[in-house]
Amino acid sequence: MAGSTIDLGEHEWAFQEESGLARRREPLPPAVLDWLRWKYRRHQIDRKQDETWSRVLYQELPVRVRDAGPPSGEDLAALEQQTAAAVLWTVGEPEVFSKRQNLDQPKMKKPKPTAKLPRVPKASAGVPDPGRVATVCAEHHVLLNRLFWNCRSDAEKQTVMQALYAYVTEPSNAAHMRRWLDTVRLLSDGRRLTV
């Protein structure tokens, strides 16, 4: 600090608090501040003499301040430094990180080899696309509902849908047309379809 010859080091913050400098509104002249630091070192750090320190603060300090006169403009800069010194900040040690602090983890057993999963077969050329079949059935739902009344099982309904799909997708194919017509005639006569 400007004008100070006594360095209190780590005791500076305690000095600021105990002497009341941290809450003081008007600056102390540098000579008085230096004298007060010397008294603090002598009566609080070197020897613990609370009674003498109390007498210095409440009897001797007011007399010294009065004898020094009103604070000058230069003392205002010293006041800023006094109050700024009251706030000390120190860098703490970083936390030690070590994996040794973690609890031991139980060893995992190797998984048993499993049989390879079966591969999903690729769509063959003979199997129709389910989305396309559903679209064809939705377009001809009135006709299918009439034919489904005569079906006795889901397998027969499946046969009707396959025959309709084959005929609609390839109307020029004679085999698909014959299959579709046979399916409709058998269901209309009340006979069973061969599944």
Question: Is 119 domain-assigned?
Answer: no
Domain boundary (51, 70, 85) is at: 85
Mean pLDDT, residues 172-178: 92
Q: What is the rounded CA–CA span in Å between residue 138 and residue 129?
A: 14
Same domain, 134 and 81: no
Question: Is 177 domain-assigned?
Answer: yes
Question: Is 115 domain-assigned?
Answer: no
> What CA–CA distances, in Å, run from 84 to 21, 37, 81, 89, 139?
11, 16, 5, 11, 87
- Provide the number of structural domains found in the chain: 2
Q: Name the residue range of residue 171's domain.
A: 130-188
Q: What is the rounded CA–CA span in Å between residue 180 and residue 176?
A: 6
pLDDT at site 12: 84
Mean pLDDT, residues 80-88: 57
- Distance linking the first and last C-alpha atoms of the chain: 105
CB-based contact 43:52 (threshold 8 Å): yes
Question: Is 105 domain-assigned?
Answer: no
Give the chain's mean pLDDT: 79
Same domain, 22 and 79: yes
**Overall pTM > 0.85:** no
